[in-house]
Structure 1
Amino acid sequence: MAYPGFGGMQAPVVNPGIPYIGEIQGGLQPGKMITIQGFVIPGADRKRGWLGITYEECGFHVNLQCGASTQPRADIAMHFNPRVMAGVVVRNCLQNQAWGGEEKQHGPFPFAMGQNFEMIILTEPDKFKVAVNGQHFIEFRHRIPFQRVNTLAIDGKVQIQAIRFDSGMPGAPQAQKGGAPVFNPFPQVPGSLAAPPAPMVPPGPMAPPGAHPSSGPHALQVPYIGSIAGGMYPGRMVIINGTVHPGAPDRFHFNLQCGASTAPRADIALQFNPRFAARAVVRNSLINNGWGGEEKDTPYFPFMPGQPFELMVLCQQDSFKVAVNGQHFTEFRHRIQPLTRVDTLVVEGKVSLQQIRFT
């Protein structure tokens, strides 16, 4: 479904089952990006190949399809198939139940058993561009009009943590010097469509199933203090992927604040504070070292010990809108102006962070 108040953007998909088949709302158009965060499951399946010879293979596939039909089988505009044992990624398309000619990459293989990955697919007028773990990987020229594509399908030895759909925002501001780096895995060449910037801190993947995320080499340190290059402004969004600590966590909080000063303490435009014992999420602001009135009314408590989450904060003209796991959760009217004063994100408490993005 589309997220209410977020410009019709499709809600992210969190921890879907595999095989996964889902609608791409609105289909594809140039500039649209699909971001898939996953984990390659260790182990291999025995398969029967040429002349009945059996072999082992570990792999998965991501399909951009024209519907979800199985009888007859839907056309596939791009079949992206990492084969881990062979160290190759095969791309192909299926038209009228017949496969076309395979394409295989030349260069390093970016997937490994037992490892996380982030894959981004960008639609351009003449091709798909694919980045893996922050690096441009391959291109696949359209053999089927991209306008027909309306379905994403994923299957194989893979666990998916999150799928995001971004329509693209031409002209979005670039990060400034000293701020978060701009992640653009699709270098522009003359005559191509520029990919919309998506600042990311850092381009690290999520933790494998059962592992404590903070133990991974790509996890962000908590307490986390990071600058928001250019500050906040209407239309800007902060996206935070994290995991609540297991056991009996007390609380954690996210602050959107005006600098990182501790003496005197920086003003806080929004403190978002889940409290597990009370099963409440308290919102407040701090101005001139004084806390304002707390806001607690929420429809439900969306956080669970040991469980991952995605928090999205959209800055609007009069308020912040907050979504958790793709569902609208609350609004908080601005108490601090101008919004450009809000230039720092702080995260503390019983939580691990995998990724922070600014769009």
Structure 2
Amino acid sequence: MKLLSVAIPSYNSEEYLGRAVETLLTGGEEIEIIIVNDGSKDDTGKIADAYQEKYPTIIKAIHQENGGHGQAVNTGLKNATGLYFKVVDSDDWVNENSLKNVLKLLRKMYDEKKELDLLIANYVYENANLNKQKAIDYKSAMPIDTIFGWDDLKHFKQSQNILMHSVFYRTQLLRDCNLQLPKHTFYVDNIFVYQPLPYVKTLYYIDENFYRYYIGREDQSVNEKVMMSRIDQQIRVTKLMIESTDIFAVSSKKLRNYMLKYLSVMMMVCSVYLVKIGTKESLDKKKELWNYLKTTKPMMYNKIRHSVLGYSMHLPGHTGHAIIKIGYRISQKIIGFG
């Protein structure tokens, strides 16, 4: 039995795939590594096949036509046999000692017959340009080393959103909530850490700097210029998140508030980039997005629109747009990817 399935969506990843795989291999036979070659045009597929041949009981190499990051995650989930499911991007890696501690914990949960829906660990920004690290932990937001529920959450700082880097889901839970990420769309990791949350009843936070998130490449999806060029995909993901869940049917008030805050940040990111683009078309798209939220989920719109973030996104004129940009710069520094 595999405790943990790790999907590695891989597209033209020949330069760095090996680092991700080698760090995960330290998990031994309790881990399943699913390399999804997403129609790569370099030697990614050959590297994946070589790993599968060398480690046939640990590694699966799956080849598909290019469908984007979300489709690669879907494929990984479809082929996962582990009790828990994790996504590690091909240019990232994990801390080997933290992996051993995570597997030890998951084994304990299994042996003691404790059903854990979501395990959360820390992640570390590895900035290639600045040669510096920034660890994101949840010590002030969650109980440590114990099973807890949403109502046990504390206050989340701006930097403490639950991201794809920090989560290990129970595999069956993802299937039960019918998670299906869209093809050929960037930023679907936001759906991955949003849509399943109402299905999560039990959580556990382990204070381990597990995931190493590599940032700083100019072609990365989180690069500001790249995000502006792909703003339509960011809008699409935000709309899918709006549609995915009736937040006001969520029983836990703390989870409801967290999800509203997360969606507020998504609306802010879209709004800021549309303002920064600054064309009539982009400003019309900003207006259309807010109208979409208003007509689709009016209660959600009222909550977000009248929050501090929502209010700031509607300040008029050049002064308002300048304040929006300044606010975004501050948030970048807080969050850590700027």
Give the TM-score taking structure 1 as reference length. 0.32
Give the TM-score taking structure 2 as reference length. 0.33
Higher Cα radius of gyration: 1
Higher strand content, 1 or 2: 1
